[in-house]
Amino acid sequence: MSEILSTVLISIATTGVGGFFGWLFGRKEANVRIKGEEINNFDRALDAYKKMYEDIIEDLKTQVNELKDENTSLKEEVSENRKQLMTLTNFVLASAIKRADSTLDEAAFSNLKEIIK
């Protein structure tokens, strides 16, 4: 009976010591695995932010190009409007000179001629 008891106690002691060392080394391994997962998660989050940043930059570049195109178009429109305004002004001034009667003094008449040029 003492042999059986000593065998059981040795088995329990061996199991306990093995379990303790297994837990001790397993805990270190688990901590290393957790640290590795944290690093992987950080890398994935960093990649996601990089992609989001690149997408935002692309969107902003597109918007800047659209605004440049619109600005160019508006500048051309303003230039055309100025030409039309000058043409209309010249037409009105030319009509005023043609209709000028003797009440228009010589200085005003010369001034209108200068404006038309």
> Structure tokens of 24?
């001790």
pLDDT at 46 over 70: yes
- The 10s digit of each residue's pLDDT in 52-79 is 999 999 999 999 999 999 999 999 999 9
The structure tokens listed for 110 are: 């010369």
pTM of the entire predicted model: 0.50
Q: What is the mean pLDDT of the chain?
A: 83
CA pseudo-torsion sign 40, 44, 50, 53: negative
pLDDT for 116: 62
Find out whether 115 and 93 touch, Cβ atoms under 8 Å.
yes
Number of domains in the chain: 1
Type of residue numbered 94: A
Instruction: Provide the domain limits for residue 47.
Output: 2-116
Is the CB of residue 109 less than 8 Å from the CB of residue 96? no
Task: Give mean pLDDT, residues 30-36.
Answer: 83
